[in-house]
Structure 1
């Protein structure tokens, strides 16, 4: 495919959908102006994140949206020639709720993902998704991870094994409650480690977007970034709202990383089954 510009954002989104859609429109225009082909936005782009799990009053939860509803269609119209990944709270057919992501362009929805791994607090309000699948887009074959999903090696591996060369990781990852600075924040360290390790172990490009700012007393990290398949960070924001753009040849990066050691091809699946593992 040659050189591709990939944009990702650290941005704040809240419960006001009209505000969120205006911010999405502005970020899409900024990405388009930079020549980007792909833009990754955070978990909770529409409606904000699950920032305060202690409140069970429905007015404090993100609005649950129809996955084929007007808000999703509006983002697709705004995207036009761009490929845009964004997160929202999805209303299920039977009244259940999911943390979800959609990947859209002007042609409509290209791919969907529901968050599979839920924290104990999230499980009070959400149902888990059922698995991971990659999909084809004009910007290449992609897969999406939502927030806590990236803490599990199997999540990214499933998408890479399904042919994804780019993993879009949409997050609402918060700071540690007692950390005095970002450089000493345990969650900031974990956030960065997961981004780099998932890229390296699967030899893919990982595009990490995150919420920024504060909601209901929860402060989000920001730290959006684009990581190459050998662990190099090509572009990165700080903790404040910002967008960064990285230009790279995804196919060439993957080929170079896999030339000497091809992690996916050299797996030994038969050795990973617990009841077959021998200590000898």
Structure 2
């Protein structure tokens, strides 16, 4: 099956939901009729909250807004991620919304980034759900670093993994003295590795650099698959969108070649010592 995926490297206006939602709709309108699915970056509606919890959504108004956009433009949407409040706790949440407006999947970020841990509550599971284009799952940003998250999904038969992100150069901390592009090397290497080692299509949508923001984002939004590695990638951090066609049948070829899923189902892979 062929799937056309629109990946938006979006420049987020901090604490300006109305501005970001208007611009997101413009990208959706542009992709409609060409792409089957469109994905936005992490924190796309407000930017990172950094304890500014007044901007958190306790009424699911933002996801309902994207549900209406999916119905209007007849396109499946992964609306980046949204900080949502429930029962006094705050979660970094993303969704898969089908073109009818139905929510097919919801994921709450399990592996929180260092600065998120003081005010966000981690999720606790890695759901896989059916879409018109195969079994899919959602991860968010720092989840990329943990192979265990991907293995949990692969054991459930996942085929496509969508990953909104907000990844910055400065995340390397003191590591910047060793290489200013450390985070680019990390994201590029792991995006390819996760596709190969799990036999999946991996879709990574990072935020773009902002002329007014203080965060220095790496960009490098991309799609990776087994055998080919990177099939499309931005080698910059500017705001942009690409639409890439991907053939899901190559996943069956990957399993025939590597038998990764068979090994996960039948072999004890953990060390015995």
- Output the TM-score relative to the length of structure 1: 0.86
Quickly say closer, same or farther: Cα 1:246–1:18, change in 2 above 3 A: same
Question: C-alpha displacement at 1:231, in angstroms?
Answer: 4.8
| CA offset digits 1:172-205 (Å, max 9, x no partner) | 001137999xx95101111111111111100100
Q: Tell me whether 218-227 or 99-108 shows the greater mean CA deviation.
A: 99-108
> How many residues get paired?
261
Structure 2 residue 137 is the aligned partner of structure 1 residue 143 = yes
Structure 2 matches for 1:1-280, cutoff 5 A? 2-13=1-12, 14-33=14-33, 35-50=34-49, 53=50, 56=51, 58=52, 61=53, 63-66=55-58, 69-80=60-71, 81-86=74-79, 87-92=81-86, 94-105=87-98, 106-176=100-170, 184-214=180-210, 216-237=213-234, 238-250=236-248, 252-267=249-264, 269-272=267-270, 277-278=272-273
Give structure 2 stretches of 5+ with no counterpart: none
Quickly say closer, same or farther: Cα 1:179–1:151, change in 2 above 3 A: closer
- RMSD of aligned Cα (Å): 2.1
Counterpart Cα distance in 2 of 1:163 and 1:271: 17
Counterpart Cα distance in 2 of 1:45 and 1:269: 41
Kept in 1, the 8 Å contact 2:195–2:229? The answer is no
Kept in 2, the 8 Å contact 1:197–1:231? The answer is no
Counterpart Cα distance in 2 of 1:38 and 1:139: 10
Question: C-alpha displacement at 1:248, in angstroms?
Answer: 1.9
Counterpart Cα distance in 1 of 2:268 and 2:196: 22
| CA offset digits 1:59-116 (Å, max 9, x no partner) | xx572113x6222111111122211112110112x21111110111333211100110
Kept in 2, the 8 Å contact 1:83–1:139? The answer is no
Question: Residue 218 of structure 1 aligns to a residue in which SS?
Answer: coil
Kept in 2, the 8 Å contact 1:223–1:239? The answer is yes
Question: Residue 139 of structure 2 aligns to a residue in which SS?
Answer: strand
Question: C-alpha displacement at 1:138, in angstroms?
Answer: 2.2
Question: Residue 212 of structure 1 aligns to a residue in which SS?
Answer: coil
Counterpart Cα distance in 1 of 2:88 and 2:207: 26
| CA offset digits 1:106-141 (Å, max 9, x no partner) | 332111001101233211011100110111122322
Kept in 1, the 8 Å contact 2:70–2:101? The answer is no
Kept in 2, the 8 Å contact 1:73–1:108? The answer is no
Give structure 1 stretches of 5+ with no counterpart: none
Kept in 2, the 8 Å contact 1:11–1:222? The answer is no
